[in-house]
Amino acid sequence: MKVVIVGAGSVGSSIARELLANGHEIMLIDLKPEVIGRSGLRGARWLVGDACELSTLQEAKLDEADVVVSASGDDKVNLVVSLLAKTEFGVGRTVGRVNNPKNDWMFNDSWGVDVAVNTPQLMTALVEEAVEIGDLVRLLTLQTGVSSLVEFTVPHDSHIIGSTVGDIEWPDDSALVAILRDHAPITPSRDDVIDGGDELFFVTTIVAEDSLRALLAPSAADHGSVEVEGEYADQSDDGFDG
């Protein structure tokens, strides 16, 4: 895969290092030639120039890139590069780094951004994911702000314990994509039984998050039943009676 990374600071260099280790073809663009020597990156191609200039992006042959990552420390640069990558070069996938959370609302398809990476938001999500057992935690926003990757750690007194993946009527526009159990990932099947402590990962639309949250962590008033195959099964205080 051909990846162009704009901004060779600590973030851009770290991304490049990981992608190079995975065998991808990497080009980095930065205004400062001194970053080449101190990056310590081997195998990457470099272009010194202003990525906001069409001539620089043409020289980088952006039309041949599979992915463009705008990882500079300037949100204006990241937005302009993403927009040019989409509108002028037809790049299939753009990833934009959000430096100031106040600018997060601009990192969408209007500016050519497919995936916005908000580092403070992601760090907050990871902290919440570590402590918020029994609540839905958004880890990442995908597809220009329409979809998200969310996580739910099943409490040991959860009403869904004992039910199978196929028994539960998940909300529309929500898909269970992975279960993490005892530090091992599981690809979910209809017959997998949910257990306390499981970490459930969903790709869902942001609109559907509330419905998913209501199903997984209902209020005390709703805690007596869970919808299964179009019916309601009574629940005891001991968990799912399945």
- More confident: 150 or 57: 57
H or E segment to which residue 134 belongs:
none
Superfamily per CATH, domain 2-116: NAD(P)-binding Rossmann-like Domain (3.40.50.720)
Where do the structural domains in the chain lie, given as residue ranges?
A: 2-116, 132-234
- In this prediction, residue 121 carries a pLDDT of 60
Band (pLDDT 50/70/90 cuts) for residue 42 is confident
**pLDDT over 70 (residue 238):** no
Rounded mean pLDDT, 28-53: 90
What is the homologous superfamily of the domain 132-234 according to CATH? Regulator of K+ conductance, C-terminal domain (3.30.70.1450)
As a three-state string, the secondary structure of 157-200 is CCCCCCCECCCECCCCCEEEEEEEECCEEECCCCCCECCCCCEE
pLDDT bin (cut points 50, 70, 90) of residue 225 is very low
What integer is the mean pLDDT of 215-226?
Answer: 55
Q: Give the whole-angstrom CA distance, residue 28 versus residue 35.
A: 10
Alpha carbons 169 and 215: distance in angstroms, whole number: 9
- Is residue 156's pLDDT more than 60? yes
The pLDDT mean for the chain works out to 83
Contact 52, 41 (CB under 8 A): no
pLDDT of the residue at 10: 85
End-to-end CA distance of the chain: 46
Q: Which of 17-21, 71-75, 120-124, 214-218 has the lowest mean pLDDT?
A: 120-124
- At residue 101, the pLDDT reads 83
Lowest-confidence segment of 13-17, 54-58, 233-237 by average pLDDT: 233-237
pTM (global) more than 0.85: no
DSSP codes joined into one string, 59-70: HTTGGG-SEEEE
Question: How far is Cα 58 from Cα 135, in angstroms, rounded to an integer?
Answer: 47
Fold: same for 2-116 and 132-234: no
